[in-house]
Amino acid sequence: MTSQESPYHFLETPASATRGNVTAHVTDVLRQAIVTLELKPGEVIDKGALCERLGVSRFPVSEALARLQGEGLVDILPQRGSIVSLVRIADVLEYMVIRKALESEAVRIVVNNNTPELVETLKRNLSYQRAAAEIGDRAGFHQRDLEFHDILFAAMAFTRIKAVIENARANLDRARWLIISPRRLETSLSEHLSIFKAIDAGDAPGAEAAMRAHVDSVMAELLTFARAHPDLFADGERLAAVDDLQSFPFG
């Protein structure tokens, strides 16, 4: 099988990888492919084809899959191989609740410790977001979206809070990729602008409310999408049977 014929032609092959970082590279490449849905929920993973495409032995691939299993991105089934895990909307919503609590508090603290440098950094980021949204660059916008939130956490200088968010990010980002559309890009940009304007104005309650509204908006869209596409979710059938989406899975 040539690289052109590989089912994993979209994976980046390492230009040069030392023995010590091969597993880390394979893990990063597979995580990115899963999060961006190039490897789709429920897809069977062909380890042999992965090894051939990435030019590595089976050991780093097996180790990478084990790490991704720990992150909830891969299911390893005895005697059956590995598959990309289905998204669990209940987990995603729990992560979103964590983010809502932490990020609304983050912007309140940031407003009280605002600096001209922070304002300029956020302005620059928002200009990049706008440019990506205008040309429909989903990947570019997603990256700038992540950076927008990272800027706020960096301004807090609370590394433990950032670590909690990072731990929840992979599965959350995968779910968010499912709903990225031109309309969602424009909506997220507008919501980010509202957060920024409140920060720039020194309005802590307004910034907190804008952040909570942003997270709620994403949560609502994820729930609607999950109900329309239950096959992509491990708990899709349960979600489809819920009358009041706002109560799932907490009511």
Interval 119-160: pLDDT, tens = 999 999 999 999 999 999 999 999 999 999 989 988 887 777
pLDDT of residue 60: 93
| pTM summary value | 0.82
Separation between Cα atoms, residue 151 and residue 107, nearest integer Å: 10
Nearest in space to 162 (alpha carbons), one of 93, 110, 91: 110
Give the CATH class of 3-84.
mainly alpha
pLDDT of residue 246: 61
Separation between Cα atoms, residue 108 and residue 113, nearest integer Å: 9
Separation between Cα atoms, residue 246 and residue 151, nearest integer Å: 30
Q: By the 8 A CB rule, do 192 and 166 touch?
A: no
pLDDT of residue 167: 67
Task: Match 């230009």 to its residue by tokens.
Answer: 15
pLDDT of residue 201: 96
Which helix H or strand E contains 75, and what residues bound it?
strand 74-77
Which helix H or strand E contains 84, and what residues bound it?
strand 81-84
Residues (pLDDT < 50) of the chain are: 1-3, 251
Which backbone phi and psi does 241 adopt, to 5 degrees?
A: -90, -5
> Which tokens sit at 196?
């920024």
> Which tokens sit at 134?
């205008």
Amino acid at 130: R
Going from N- to C-terminal start, the domains of the chain cover: 3-84, 89-247
Give the CATH class of 89-247.
mainly alpha
